[in-house]
């Protein structure tokens, strides 16, 4: 009997082990997936063991066009400005362990106090302690640490911009080796670049590649107004590289490494970086205002394709067509659905990414010149851009702290409601762990549209209603994926 039980136990272990190996390493998959390039709070595959490579593997034929001195110089300069970031999140996982933990472990490291630990990279942006990284590296962290020059510093989160996935940190340290910033507009497809970061906790790692493409829009930003105009590179980017530097052969920053295209979560040939020109604008705004000053034209657009060009009787396929007027500057300057935007300040607009990137450099109140095509005629208009509320004032995010129900809220602007096809709505910005909103299962980023069919426009009204209401309550919610759902409660 003991021999039979032992045989059954070994068979079970072998079966689970074989199924796991097949599913994760041998099972065929046709679907490609864009992933953020870090290992923050998510399970990652075990890295392939390192294999020694002989110098005999490199011949003059393979390296004749490479200036190795340039690579070495750029590496020496840029690695000094890249830091290792560690984040801590309390109570993310239950302290209970299951039988599957014995086989597969946890998605992240966790200490006995139940704190989940994640990591990523960052770039020293100024010598007085400002460090730029990705928003997804530090999102939700209760504590952020920056490891630089074998010392650890606790970092303060200055601000975030989900639309570009950029976050700004500050440590109490001066005379840091700030990285030199190059203009990403000057970067050409085919230029050599280096990716500098901390993949798989291997600090100060440098990989080389070329710029494969510019202005890539890959649909990874979970934001109402995403700005995606990535630099695509084949320099190896792996988990832990998020927030690290993409530099030219002078060691100057041209981008912040953000995402990879991969089936496994590891490098598969395609990496994506936020252009340095966009990063500089975001960082400057966060330092000065604590909030990115986004400028809006007040339209929805779509790149002109062959079918659209035929419908509009266009001789050439170029520009982006206006599909919806959302207010603001577009409404004031009488732009129309069907107008094709050809250029902004003489900068040619060929794609949605180019449109988003060009607008990202302006602030509310800036006056721009746009060239449009309407019914076959080119028209030039001078337009004053507005903020999300349709004014030219400095945009300050007005957050209402409803302490009595354990959450923070913001109102939804007219332009954003138009984009989301909503008449009303308030957004949950932050949820306290033990508050009423948390107990109701409502989460950060959700938009509350109505309560018992009463439209919600003002966060103060919702807090008052919810704290006083008795009986059955039905709340209409728009989730992050823009689907609608009704939550039912009884108080």
Residues forming the active site:
136, 165, 242
Supply the DSSP symbol for 180: P
Identify whether the C-beta of residue 404 lies closer than 8 Å to the C-beta of residue 381: no
Task: Answer left, alpha or beta for residue 302, where phi above 0 means left and psi between -120 and 50 means alpha.
Answer: beta
In order of 25, 32, 35, 263, the CA distances from 28 in angstroms are 9, 12, 19, 10
Q: Largest Cα–Cα distance in the chain?
A: 90
Beta bridge partners of residue 426, listed in sequence order: 411, 448
DSSP 256-278: EEEEEEESSSS--SEEEEEEHHH
DSSP 216-239: E--S---SSS----EEEE-S---T
Supply the DSSP symbol for 55: G
The structure tokens listed for 351 are: 């794609």
Considering only CA atoms, which of 422, 402, 420, 400 is closest in space to residue 411?
A: 400
Considering only CA atoms, which of 475, 459, 352, 476 is closest in space to residue 422?
A: 476
Beta bridge partners of residue 193, listed in sequence order: 209
The structure tokens listed for 279 are: 């990063």
- Any alpha helices (H) in 130-200, and if so which ranges? 135-138
* Rg, Å, the chain Cα set: 25
List, in order, residues 6 or more apart from 461 with CB less than 8 Å away.
none
Identify whether the C-beta of residue 256 lies closer than 8 Å to the C-beta of residue 274: yes
- Any alpha helices (H) in 179-273, and if so which ranges? none
C-alpha–C-alpha distance, residues 166 and 168, integer Å: 7
| Owner of token pair 């649909």 | 219
What sign for the dihedral angle of Cα 354, 358, 361, 363? negative
């Amino acid at each position: 009997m003991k021999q039979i039980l032992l045989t059954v136990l070994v068979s079970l272990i072998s079966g689970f082990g074989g199924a796991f190996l097949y599913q994760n390493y041998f099972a065929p998959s046709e679907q490609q997936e864009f992933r953020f390039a870090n290992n923050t709070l998510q399970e990652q595959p075990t890295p392939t063991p390192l294999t020694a490579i002989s110098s005999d593997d490199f011949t003059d034929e393979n390296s004749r066009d490479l200036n190795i001195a340039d690579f070495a110089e750029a590496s020496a300069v840029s690695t000094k400005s890249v830091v290792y970031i560690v984040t801590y999140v309390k109570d993310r996982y239950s302290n209970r362990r299951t039988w599957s933990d014995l086989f597969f472990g946890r998605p992240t490291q966790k200490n006995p106090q139940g704190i989940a630990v994640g990591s990523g990279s960052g770039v020293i942006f100024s010598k007085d302690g400002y460090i730029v990284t990705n928003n997804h590296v530090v999102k939700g962290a209760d504590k952020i640490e920056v490891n630089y020059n074998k010392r650890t510093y606790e970092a303060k989160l200055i601000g975030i911009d989900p639309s570009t996935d950029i976050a700004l940190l500050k440590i109490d340290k001066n005379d840091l080796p700030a990285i030199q910033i190059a203009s990403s507009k000057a970067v050409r497809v085919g230029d050599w670049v280096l990716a500098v970061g901390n993949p798989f906790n291997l600090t100060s790692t440098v990989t080389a590649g070329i710029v494969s493409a510019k202005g890539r829009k890959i649909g990874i930003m979970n934001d109402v107004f995403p700005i995606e105009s990535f630099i695509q590179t084949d320099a190896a980017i792996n988990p832990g590289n998020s927030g690290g530097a993409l530099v030219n052969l002078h060691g100057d920053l041209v981008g912040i490494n953000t995402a990879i295209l991969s089936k496994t979560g590891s490098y598969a040939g395609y990496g994506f970086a936020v252009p340095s020109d966009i990063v500089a604008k975001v960082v400057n705004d966060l330092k000065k205002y604590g909030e990115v000053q986004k400028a809006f034209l007040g339209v929805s657009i779509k790149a002109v394709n062959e079918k659209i060009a035929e419908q509009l009787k266009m001789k050439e396929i170029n520009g982006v067509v206006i599909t919806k007027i959302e207010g603001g500057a577009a409404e004031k300057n009488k732009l129309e659905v069907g107008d094709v935007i050809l250029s902004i300040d003489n900068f040619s607009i060929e794609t949605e990414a180019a449109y988003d990137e060009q607008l990202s450099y302006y602030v509310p109140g800036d006056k721009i010149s746009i060239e449009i095509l309407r019914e076959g005629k080119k028209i030039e208009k001078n337009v004053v851009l507005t903020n999300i509320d349709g004014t030219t004032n400095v945009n300050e995010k007005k957050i209402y702290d409803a302490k009595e129900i354990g959450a923070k809220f913001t109102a939804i602007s007219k332009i954003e409601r138009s984009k989301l096809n909503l008449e009303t709505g308030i957004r949950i910005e932050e949820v306290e762990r033990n508050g009423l909103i948390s107990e109701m299962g409502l989460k950060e980023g959700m938009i509350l549209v109505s309560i018992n069919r009463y439209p919600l426009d003002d966060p103060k009204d919702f807090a008052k209603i919810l704290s006083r209401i008795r009986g059955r309550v039905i709340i209409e919610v728009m989730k992050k994926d823009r689907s609608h759902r009704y939550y039912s409660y009884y108080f």
